[in-house]
Structure 1
């Protein structure tokens, strides 16, 4: 059974495409995702992966957080841990928690990510070119490649960079890696 967040996400993705006057073929050309996959996503037949959402966000010039925030209720000033939105890509071994959801007029947000051992997520292009990120590893080990520059991070390490090209998050193991990402829009 699909959850309500996935259903709202499917509807929002379809609305964004239609609002831009793009056909499924247009969106497929902009994302490199097949027309049939996009159609199935918009009809709510499949759950999006982190990679697929990344490609859609790049086409729309949005962050993943903004897209997810579009399908969530307006966030309050204080977000209790039990109320923080959690999104999972089970097939990729990735869990994403919006610790401080994006809010109109604010440029920063805080995200918690967890990658299972061996998980490997790549994003072909930044959702917003020049977006600043701070990645702080809380537990475990993370191999983060920023625009083809590899970084090996352990617990307590923090990497600050701007998104200009592709990124890759990989957990070499042996256990899960938990990290915080602070996103600052340009």
Structure 2
């Protein structure tokens, strides 16, 4: 896990440098403090899901794409034991990149879990018009997107294109596990 965090920190620093932005520039664009960004880029702290969501929006990348960029050459098959898992312990969010990562592809498959009471809000989509299909495998999740709130339970599938803020909340009493198909516009 530490190795992934270090590669993620290095990639975040590369993205900022590629654009010619200072830490202050990025802080203004992402509405994240300069000190937090500096600590993230030095791998002194791990990003929360919300923080990573803001950075993905600024860099116009999905979270899956950003995480795939810190992986080595993408394989055709990713065995379950080798799938990248990222956890935000503070918010109760766990994200497994199921499909073989490749930055050039438009679709990605992710398995997500939220513990009861977890509530994650994203200010903006990482890419405007991003299409999401959310198939709940176990439990229930409340999803707010584009001004509508949906209660999605085991077996249900919600599809939408994301243009604004979104929120994922696990009302409990059990955790929720869902498959997320992401399609770039």
Q: TM-score, normalised by structure 1?
A: 0.97
Residue 56 of structure 2 corresponds to which residue in structure 1?
57
Residue 97 of structure 1 corresponds to which residue in structure 2?
96
1:9, distance to aligned residue in structure 2 (A): 0.6
Q: Which runs of 4+ in 1 moved over 2 A?
A: none
Residue 86 of structure 2 corresponds to which residue in structure 1?
87
Residue 141 of structure 1 corresponds to which residue in structure 2?
140
Distance 1:180 1:84 in 2: 14
1:76, distance to aligned residue in structure 2 (A): 1.2
Residue 156 of structure 1 corresponds to which residue in structure 2?
155
Q: Report which stretch shifted further, 12-21 or 73-82.
A: 73-82
Distance 1:36 1:120 in 2: 25
Task: Name the CA shift for 1:170/1:56 in 2 (closer, same or farther; >3 Å).
Answer: same
Q: Is the 8 A contact 1:102 1:108 kept in 2?
A: no
1:178, distance to aligned residue in structure 2 (A): 0.1
Distance 1:12 1:106 in 2: 19
Residue 78 of structure 1 corresponds to which residue in structure 2?
77
SS at match of 1:97: strand
Summarize the alignment of residues 3-14 of structure 1 with structure 2, pairs less than 5 Å apart. 3-14=2-13
Q: TM-score, normalised by structure 2?
A: 0.97
Q: Is the 8 A contact 2:129 2:162 kept in 1?
A: yes
1:102, distance to aligned residue in structure 2 (A): 3.2
1:83, distance to aligned residue in structure 2 (A): 1.0
Q: Does 2:177 match 1:168? A: no
Q: Is the 8 A contact 2:76 2:100 kept in 1?
A: no
1:104, distance to aligned residue in structure 2 (A): 4.2
Q: Is the 8 A contact 2:77 2:100 kept in 1?
A: no
1:80, distance to aligned residue in structure 2 (A): 1.1
Aligned residues: 185
Structure 1 residues 137-186: Cα deviation after superposition (integer angstroms, max 9, x where no partner): 00001000012210001100100000100110000000110000001111
Structure 1 residues 13-53: Cα deviation after superposition (integer angstroms, max 9, x where no partner): 01110110101111011111111110111111100111111
Distance 1:104 1:19 in 2: 17
Gaps of 5+ in 1: none
